[in-house]
Amino acid sequence: MEFSGRAALVTGASRGIGRAIAVELARAGAAVALVGRDAAALEESADACRAAGGDRVEIVRADLAEQSAVDTAVRTALGAFGRVDFAIANAGISIDGLILRLRREELDRQIDVNLKSAVYLAAAVAKPMLRQKAGSIVFISSIVGLSGNPGQSIYALTKAGLLGLAKSLAKELGSRGVRVNAVAPGYIETAMTATLPEAAKAQYLNTISLGRPGRPEDVSGVVRFLCSDAAAYVTGQTIVVDGGLVMA
């Protein structure tokens, strides 16, 4: 699973799972484009990539809810590296709330960031990947997209949408060697989950078979596999990384 001579683009790369994925791919030898809005946090991610051995790192500030910004990010990566082999759609937000209190702006923002940005990324990288006759697109979804969760109906909607998107694009692009998969993390210790009430954290820990919360690195290793030639015959799949929290 060595990626020397290959290039990756990771959205939401400023922290948490996105940063861990970028570092994992950089450690494997890939050039990495880090895409997000927080310039200072992206610099920290870039430093982490370099510390892991990555010698080709590009920072791209972008509001991923805008298609033009996503297109620009992909063009920047292509200009810097000459190719994009791996595209990881990790950007995401969660605005919790009961459906009876739904606010239109919260609905739109989650759909824009969690779902539309992934569609924009896939559309932008599809052309260069098809020309290369190779590529791997990975959508970072959530177990909430599989199981649902009270108070997270819109978040679940967007994360479930990524699963259908992965399956459809796998069929659409597979004949030209482009693979599309999704990863559904469970309770992973990140800034997003740090705000969970202690009672909710305890409930998760009591349910997780492995008895511990996940780490961003638990997810990044799976993404590295999906990008690698070891997964050359894997497409249209959802890989659950939850320590046994949800079992179908």
Q: Which active-site residues does the annotation give?
A: 155
| SS (HEC) of the chain | CCCCCCEEEEECCCCHHHHHHHHHHHHCCCEEEEEECCHHHHHHHHHHHHHCCCCCEEEEECCCCCHHHHHHHHHHHHHHHCCCCEEEECCCCCCCCCHHHCCHHHHHHHHHHHHHHHHHHHHHHHHHHHHHCCEEEEEECCCHHHHCCCCCHHHHHHHHHHHHHHHHHHHHHHHHCEEEEEEEECCECCHHHHCCCHHHHHHHHHHCCCCCCECHHHHHHHHHHHHCHHHCCCCCCEEEECCCCCCC
